[in-house]
């Protein structure tokens, strides 16, 4: 199975997945770069998976559907806000896409119907604007408690899982993370690696879940060091998470 990162717009990513029986796309910020990536490889597009309704994730759906006749699948909870769906899915569903099973995980918070797509055979999860590299999406429609619950579901996946998020926000996320956990050696090392990768023009929005668990402050509200820095010793994880999210919002 091959996963291709496709830069779109100013800082979005779409992901092409070539499975044993076809090609699927996760999110469609704009059609042009995705068409170019497909044509360069001689691929067609069989299925398009949508994570949530924001325009920077669905702007290319209509053009791609018209060009390739692909099946469009997205969250039923947001169907009224999405381009027309051929199939609506809910958290807990398992579907077969490009010849591989895909588990739908309900991850509201950024939007109320946001879903992530987990491909166990590829050890990959596509999280868009829920869990992000060294961060998480803004809580636009849900609540911090809702987002924390969603992140907890993703954190429970196997640690070797590769997390593919929707934006190139990693450098800014690293700068913020270091204000929350300045003595985390793994975080410092990762921040240096991210700076080098971006200087060389490489995307950094995909990483192993194990690395996120060790360095992403939004997954680490149980850390005594973080709780001490925030003055929230012994507080529930959801409360600590909410404080971290509030600080990021004004960072």
Q: Which among 78, 36, 163, 66 has a CA at the least distance from the CA of 48?
A: 66
| pTM score of the predicted model | 0.97
pLDDT at 5: 98
Percent of the chain with pLDDT over 70: 100
For 31, phi then psi, to 5°, come to -80, -40
The boundaries of the domain holding residue 89 are 2-249
What is the Cα–Cα distance from 4 to 225, expressed in whole angstroms?
37
Instruction: Identify the band that residue 4 occupies on the pLDDT scale cut at 50, 70 and 90.
Output: very high
Count of domains forming the chain: 1
Beta strands in 55-119 (DSSP E): 71-75, 87-89, 94-97, 100-106, 115-119
pLDDT at 34: 98
- CA angle, residues 163, 201, 55, in degrees to nearest 5: 55
Which residues, 6 or more positions from 37, have their beta carbon under 8 angstroms from its beta carbon? 4, 6, 16
pLDDT at 52: 98
What does the pLDDT average to over 215-240? 98
Please give the mean pLDDT across all residues of the chain: 98
Percent of the chain with pLDDT over 90: 100
Write out the binding residues. 52, 54, 56-57, 110, 129, 167
pLDDT tens per residue, range 151-177? 999 999 999 999 999 999 999 999 999
Domain containing residue 213: CATH number: 3.60.15.10
Write out the binding residues for Zn(2+). 52, 54, 56-57, 110, 129, 167
pLDDT tens per residue, range 79-105? 999 999 999 999 999 999 999 999 999
pLDDT tens per residue, range 190-227? 999 999 999 999 999 999 999 999 999 999 999 999 99
pLDDT tens per residue, range 115-133? 999 999 999 999 999 999 9
CB count within 10 Å of CB 26 equals 28
């Amino acid at each position: 199975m091959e996963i291709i990162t496709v830069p779109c717009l100013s800082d979005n990513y779409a992901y092409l997945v070539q499975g044993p029986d076809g090609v699927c796309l996760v999110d469609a910020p704009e059609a042009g770069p995705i068409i170019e990536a497909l044509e360069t490889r001689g691929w067609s597009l069989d299925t398009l998976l949508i994570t949530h309704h924001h325009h920077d994730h669905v702007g290319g759906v209509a053009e791609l559907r018209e060009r390739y006749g692909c099946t469009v699948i997205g969250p039923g909870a947001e169907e009224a806000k999405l381009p027309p769906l051929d199939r609506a899915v809910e958290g807990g569903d398992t579907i077969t896409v490009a010849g591989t099973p895909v588990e739908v995980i309900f991850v509201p918070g950024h939007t109320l119907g946001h879903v992530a797509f987990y491909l166990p055979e590829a050890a990959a999860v596509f999280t868009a604007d829920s869990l992000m590299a060294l961060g998480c999406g803004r809580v636009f429609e849900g609540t911090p408690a809702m987002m924390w619950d969603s992140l907890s579901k993703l954190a429970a996946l196997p640690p070797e899982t590769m997390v593919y998020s929707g934006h190139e926000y990693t450098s800014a996320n690293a700068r913020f993370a270091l204000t929350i956990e300045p003595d985390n050696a793994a975080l410092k090392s990762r921040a240096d690696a991210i700076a080098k990768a971006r200087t060389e023009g490489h995307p950094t929005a995909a990483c192993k879940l194990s690395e996120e668990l060790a360095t992403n402050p939004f997954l680490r509200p149980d850390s005594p060091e973080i709780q001490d820095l925030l003055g929230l010793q012994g507080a529930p994880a959801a409360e600590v998470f909410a404080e971290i999210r509030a600080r990021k919002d004004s960072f």
